[in-house]
C-alpha cells in the first residue's frame, strides 16, 4: 500500500463535510504512512482552543498533522496556538512529499 498526503483546506467546524477527509486519513493511517497538510481555513481546526480539536486529532490516529505556516500567519495564528503534536511547515513540504517521496495526494 502506498503512502498518502491528504491536503485539507476546509474549517472542520464551519464545514461538516471536512470530517470525511479526516476520517479517511485516520483510516488510511492505520495501515500506511499518512501526512495531513492543513491549509487555508483548515488550520482553525488545529487550534488548541477549537471546540473539536481533540476529536480532530484523535480521528487522525497515527497520521502526521502539519499546519501551513502561511495559512497560520494570514489568520493571525502562531504555532503555539496549535494542539500539541501538530507540526508547522511551508508549502515546500507538499512539493517534497509528492515529488521526492512519491505520495498519492488526496485534496479535500
pLDDT tens for 21-35 read 889 999 999 999 999
pLDDT tens, 1-54?
689 999 999 988 888 888 888 899 999 999 999 999 999 999 999 999 987 777
Q: Which secondary structure element, helix H or strand E, spans residue 105, and what is its range?
A: strand 104-107
Residue 27 in contact with residue 59, Cβ under 8 Å? no
In terms of Cβ atoms closer than 10 Å to its own Cβ (0-12, 13-18, 19+), residue 83 is: middle
Between residues 63 and 13, which one has the greater pLDDT?
63
What's the N-to-C CA distance of the chain in angstroms?
Answer: 21
Fold of 4-107: Hypothetical Protein Ychn; Chain: A, (3.40.1260)
Give the model's pLDDT for residue 101. 85
Burial call 87-103: b when 16+ CB within 10 Å, e when fewer: ebeeeebbeebeeeeeb
Amino acid at each position: 500500500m502506498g503512502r498518502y498526503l491528504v491536503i485539507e483546506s476546509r474549517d472542520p467546524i464551519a464545514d461538516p463535510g471536512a470530517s470525511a477527509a479526516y476520517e479517511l486519513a485516520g483510516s488510511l493511517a492505520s495501515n500506511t504512512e499518512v501526512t495531513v497538510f492543513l491549509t487555508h481555513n483548515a488550520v482553525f481546526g488545529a487550534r488548541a482552543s477549537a471546540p473539536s480539536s481533540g476529536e480532530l486529532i484523535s480521528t487522525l490516529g497515527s497520521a502526521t498533522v502539519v499546519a501551513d505556516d502561511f495559512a497560520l500567519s494570514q489568520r493571525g495564528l502562531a504555532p503555539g496556538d496549535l494542539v500539541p503534536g501538530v507540526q508547522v511547515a511551508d508549502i515546500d513540504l507538499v512539493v517534497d512529499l509528492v515529488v521526492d517521496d512519491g505520495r498519492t495526494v488526496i485534496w479535500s
